[in-house]
Chains A and B, each alone.
Chain A
């Protein structure tokens, strides 16, 4: 299948901005997603972006999409300890019947 790649770990100080990066391979992907997994829980959708958009902002979250480089990023402003979680990038792939492919997840640790 297609690969979605992310760095595995990120540490930031409380109050700083966090930037989580993702690269994907399927240029036909129509939607790209960020999911959050808190300890002991399932995944919950944080936000998503349509492939014809460059940016989407939702309160503290900013998603940037560089379609040419197949690069997606999630910026969390004013990161709080409650933001500590694993963040998964995912693509919905037209060529695979809209099947979802997830990255390995980035574990974000927020230090006081």
Chain B
């Protein structure tokens, strides 16, 4: 089954404790992206990647890192999480090309105390 898989789905952590949210897709998609969703703000893009070893900042990259060493994986790293990073995070992927549908993972709800 074609899917985007995120882990963990839920996480409560404390300020400053490094964490990684993994994202994996099995559709051989070139493009992958991370978003955060906050009430009233919709989806804001954190980072995106057009292909392996190519990453770019989105609208809200501060406090996050990403890497794209393999096509299928695009982990989101919070080196020193802070409470303002408490949010619902979505990973998404698509084929390159204008009409490619963006496929979303089920979301990872992160709480930073």
A and B part of one assembly? yes
A interface vs B, CB < 8 Å?
1, 6, 8, 30-31, 33, 35, 41-45, 48, 50, 88, 90, 92, 94, 97-105
Chain A at the B interface: SS class: strand
B interface vs A, CB < 8 Å?
31, 33, 35, 40-43, 45, 48, 50, 56, 58-59, 90, 92, 94, 96-102, 104-107
B104 and A43 within 8 A (CB): yes
Q: How many A-B residue pairs lie within 8 Å, measured between CB atoms?
A: 62
Supply 18 A–B pairs (Cβ within 8 Å), ascending by A. A35-B102, A41-B107, A42-B90, A43-B43, A43-B90, A43-B92, A90-B102, A92-B98, A97-B56, A99-B45, A100-B94, A100-B102, A102-B35, A102-B42, A104-B41, A104-B42, A105-B42, A105-B43
**Beta-carbon nearest neighbor of A44 in chain B:** B104
A44–B42 alpha-carbon span in the complex (Å): 15
**Beta-carbon nearest neighbor of B42 in chain A:** A104
* 3 closest cross-chain pairs (CB), A and B: A104-B42, A42-B104, A30-B98
B99 and A31 within 8 A (CB): yes
A102–B45 alpha-carbon span in the complex (Å): 9
A110–B33 alpha-carbon span in the complex (Å): 32
Considering residues A1, A8, A44, A98, which has the most beta carbons from chain B within 10 angstroms of its beta carbon?
A98
Instruction: Report which of A33, A48, A97, A101 forms a contact with B50, defined as CB distance below 8 A.
Output: A97
Chain B hits for A99, CB < 8 A: 33, 45, 48, 56
**Beta-carbon nearest neighbor of B50 in chain A:** A97
- In the assembled complex, the CB of B37 is this many whole angstroms from the nearest CB of chain A, namely 8
Instruction: Report which of A45, A50, A101, A102 forms a contact with B101, defined as CB distance below 8 A.
Output: A45
